[in-house]
Structure 1
Amino acid sequence: MTSLDADPAQFLIDFYDALNHDLIETDEDAAVVIDRYHTPDIVQIADGHAIDREKLIAHTRPIRKNKPTARMDVHEAIATGDQLAARYTLHVNNRKRDLVMDVFLFARFTPDGRMRESHVVTSTR
């Protein structure tokens, strides 16, 4: 994985590509996958809704069932220390529909690249 400081945009792309690959392309236990990419005390605030580790694991069920493909266009990304801020467009294709979302992400990561906290605001086009 690319260093957070060296190239924050590539770090973010690599993080989500690897997470999605492990969730969609393997039969590995979802909890093991989530723990590989997130700290045990992870809290994600997505559009005002808190998502802890257990909710994150539950969220993997429809992802694994629908097997969507996704592509990120990172427009801006900056990092300082363990913090990353980014603005990107997420293109998701699955068997039911296609989505395009504008995403504003503010996150903190551990030195080994796991997410410990994030705040996300999205707008679907």
Structure 2
Amino acid sequence: MNVDQRPTAAQDFAGYLRAYHADAVDGTEPIEEVWDRYHLPDGTHRVNGRIWDREKILGRARARRSLGAPYELYIHEVVVEGHRAAARYTFGTPMLWKVQSATDVAVFAEMDDDGRVARTVMHSASRPGWSGSGGESPFDSAAAPAADTAPAPPPAVGAEPTPAQDPAHYLRAYYATGYNPEVPVAEAYDRLHTPDALHEIGGKLMQRSGVLKAMEEGRKRGHVYPVEVHETLREGNRFAARYATSRDGNPKRQQEVLVFGEFAPDGRVRRVRFLLEPGYGSV
């Protein structure tokens, strides 16, 4: 594929991730030209809570290219809404046999009118691992998110919206009812989730019984978790969001969380993954 055929982030976000990494790692063009092909030169980028300027990003890219090592890129999930996108992917560098250094990345991006990336917020965490997709099925860019089937009816006057109508409502309700001692934990959970819903929190997979136990323990410790939602996206039955919270409501102890999820046809959540900003403990 020649340069003119490379997709912009606005045209195909998964394609942009593949093309940018291919050009940055395996390409021979100057890194500056590669970066500016896909990103605005004066765009803003935050990685693990810190602002990275263009020179720092280019320095990291040069260092990776200088290794002369192959790479593996697995895109796990993409959600696009208008000029914004969110994605989860793993970037791996094979080291010895099937052992590799893997970096798990979650990114929220905003695209400029010319299709290039203008802003990103990213969580990035490196770990040793095995060559491969880490047990997840690679994202198929031809498989669009499922359209809403049998959407929940509009709420009655004065009633709260269902989670399917607003990802931000889901997050606020999840924490508000989950840690409200006046609402039974099972009731709080079942309002928002299907019985077989899967939760991944800080890398730990949990099902209904595990989540209920965690809520009970949090209530005993007096956790409250007020939620400040920064950004939400929804595409069909998938959603993604960025928000901040702290277990005691103190803004100075807030952690940022990136979340990716999937709604069931009845409007409840059937899969949700909470990615914590590196350096913080579990939600």
**TM-score surpassing 0.5?**
yes
Q: How many residues align?
A: 117
Highest CA radius of gyration, 1 or 2?
Answer: 2
Contact persistence 1:4–1:79 (CA under 8 A): no
Distance, in Å, in 2 between the alignment partners of 1:100 and 1:57 is 18
Paired position in structure 2 for 1:74:
76
After superposition, the CA RMSD in angstroms is 2.4
Distance, in Å, in 2 between the alignment partners of 1:93 and 1:50 is 25
Deviation at 1:31, TM superposition (A): 0.8
Contact persistence 2:25–2:64 (CA under 8 A): yes
Paired position in structure 2 for 1:90:
90
Deviation at 1:20, TM superposition (A): 1.6
Closer/same/farther in 2, CA of residues 65 and 106 from structure 1, 3 Å limit: same
Identity %: 24
- Deviation string for 1:35-84 (max 9, x for gaps)? 1111011221011121121211111111101234132232341322x211
Distance, in Å, in 2 between the alignment partners of 1:20 and 1:118 is 16
Gaps of 5+ in 1: 6-10
Match of 1:104, SS state, is strand
- Deviation string for 1:64-117 (max 9, x for gaps)? 01234132232341322x21123x23141244742151x332111123331111
Distance, in Å, in 2 between the alignment partners of 1:2 and 1:19 is 9
Of Structure 1 and Structure 2, the greater strand share is in: 1
TM-score w.r.t. length of structure 2: 0.37
Gaps of 5+ in 2: 1-6, 128-283
TM-score w.r.t. length of structure 1: 0.76
Closer/same/farther in 2, CA of residues 64 and 118 from structure 1, 3 Å limit: same
Runs of 4+ in 1 over 6 A off after TM superposition: none
Distance, in Å, in 1 between the alignment partners of 2:29 and 2:9 is 26
Q: Which has the higher contact order (CA 8 A, sep 6+)?
A: 1
